[in-house]
Amino acid sequence: MASTLALLALASGAAHIYCEFKPPLRGRYLFKPLTLGLLMLLVWQAQGLGLLFYGLLFCWLGDVALMMPSRSDRWFLAGLVAFLIGHLMYLALMWGGIGFAPLFAWSLLVGVAAVACWQIVLPAKKLAPAVVAYITAILLMVAAAWGEVVSGALPVIVLYGAALFALSDFLLGYNRFNRPLPLSQIWVLGTYYIAQVLIVSGHLSTGVINAAS
């Protein structure tokens, strides 16, 4: 059942990406919320409520906010805040790994943060403070995931998922604040959906959700 729901989530994510390129675009309003909805159902059935479930829930709220048809920054900011809370949930879930993250990981993440500030934060202008908070949270989440893998608490696919999540957000921010990327929806959404499936699958394989509930 678990593997079936994970595969259905990936299929729903692929359908959403397809709908972004094939008008009418109404399919996005079905498949975008459905994708994380399936992952939330998977987590709930496997382990009940916990930090991972609520992390998914806030990411789902962020997805809904970002698909609102608005030219203003209002919905984008709402989505950013929702995803920020989602990342903080993931960070809390993997906080035990912070102390195990190697020096190389911190050095790499500081470099990524510097590039993100140059390419995303500066062009973000009035949204820059919120973007800085967001970048800090997601890079700490990656560091925590890295440490959890080093300590043996989580499988390496969780780190891959965290890194892909960070990459997805970097691409999204670059596409919005710097310059449009060709086929941006494929890269942003593809990395995002794979990231969520990897994070969920890795945690379910160890039962970490119950320990953090």
Read off the tokens for 46. 């496997």
pLDDT of residue 74: 79
For residues 188 and 26, the answer to whether their CB atoms sit within 8 Å is no
Q: What pLDDT is stored for residue 162 in this prediction?
A: 95
Question: How confident is the model at residue 212, as a pLDDT?
Answer: 44
> For residue 153, which of 144, 164, 162 has the smallest C-alpha distance?
144
Q: According to the model, what pLDDT value does residue 86 have? A: 94
Q: Are 153 and 206 a contacting pair, CB within 8 Å?
A: yes
The whole-number pLDDT of residue 211 equals 44
- Beta-carbon contacts of residue 39 (< 8 Å; ≥ 6 apart): 5, 6, 9, 56, 196, 197, 200
Residue 183 CA, distance from chain mean position: 19
* pLDDT attached to residue 188: 92
The dihedrals phi and psi of 190, each to the nearest 5 degrees, come to -60, -50
CB 141 within 8 A of CB 91: yes
Q: What is the pLDDT of residue 210?
A: 46
Which residue in the block uniquely carries the two structure tokens 């710097």? Answer: 178
Q: What is the pLDDT of residue 168?
A: 93
pLDDT at 2: 66
pLDDT, tens digit (0-9, with 9 covering 90-100), for 97-113: 888 888 888 898 889 88
Mean pLDDT by 10 residues, the chain (213 residues): 82 89 78 92 88 95 84 78 93 90 88 86 81 90 94 93 93 85 87 94 74 43
